[in-house]
Amino acid sequence: MLDDTLTRVSWRARPRSFVALMSLYESNFIRLGWLAGDLERLEGRHRSQVASDCDLLLTITGRSPYTSTANLTYVLPGTAGVVPYPDMRLCIYHDAHLVEAQEWASAHGQPVLRTLRSLVERELDQRWARNMMLNKWLEYCAERGHRFSTATRLAAAE
C-alpha cells in the first residue's frame, strides 16, 4: 500500500496554493486507491459495510479514456428513509493519478461545514476546502476498514 505521508517532494509549496492543491489531488488518488484498488478498473455501484460505521456508497457515473466521474457518499439513516451525505462528486484523472472533489452537498446540516463553506470565497479556497474534506474523509474511511471490490458491487436494480 502506498503511504502518501512518506512521499518526498523536491519543492516547497505554500499551503492553499495551486501547487499544494495539486499535491492534495495526488494524495486523494492514493487514498481512494486504498479503498478501491485499481481505479481504472472500477465500474458500477459499490457499497462498503463495516461494523460500527455507516455504509459507504461509491458510484461510477461516467467514463472517458483518461477520466472517470464518481459519487461518494455515506448512506445515513433518516426519519424519511436514507440520506446520502456528504454526497461528493469526484473526477478521477487516471493518466495524471489525481482525484478532485468537484462538488459536495449544496446545503449542510452540520454547523461546522456550513461555517466552512461560508468562509471560502475564492475558487482556489473552495477547491481547497472540498478536497481537504475528501482527503481526511478517505483516510478515516480506510482506517474504519471500508473497501470496494468486485465483492461490494451492487446489482443494477439496487
pLDDT at res. 10? 47
This prediction's pTM: 0.81
pLDDT at res. 12? 56
- pLDDT score of 147 more than 90: yes
Pick from 77, 90, 87: nearest CA to 36: 90
94: which residues sit within 8 A by CB, 6+ positions away? 39, 40, 66, 67, 68
100: which residues sit within 8 A by CB, 6+ positions away? 25, 28, 90, 91, 93, 127, 131
Cα angle for residues 76, 79, 82 (degrees, 5° grid): 35
Helix (H, G, I), strand (E, B) or coil at 93: strand
Q: How far apart are CA 52 and CA 99, in angstroms?
A: 27
pLDDT at res. 81? 78
pLDDT tens for each residue of 61-94: 999 999 999 999 998 887 787 878 788 999 999 9
In this structure, what are the phi and psi dihedrals at residue 151, rounded to the nearest 5 degrees? -75, -20
Q: Can you tell me the mean pLDDT for 138-150? A: 95
Q: What is the domain partition of the chain in residue ranges?
A: 32-152
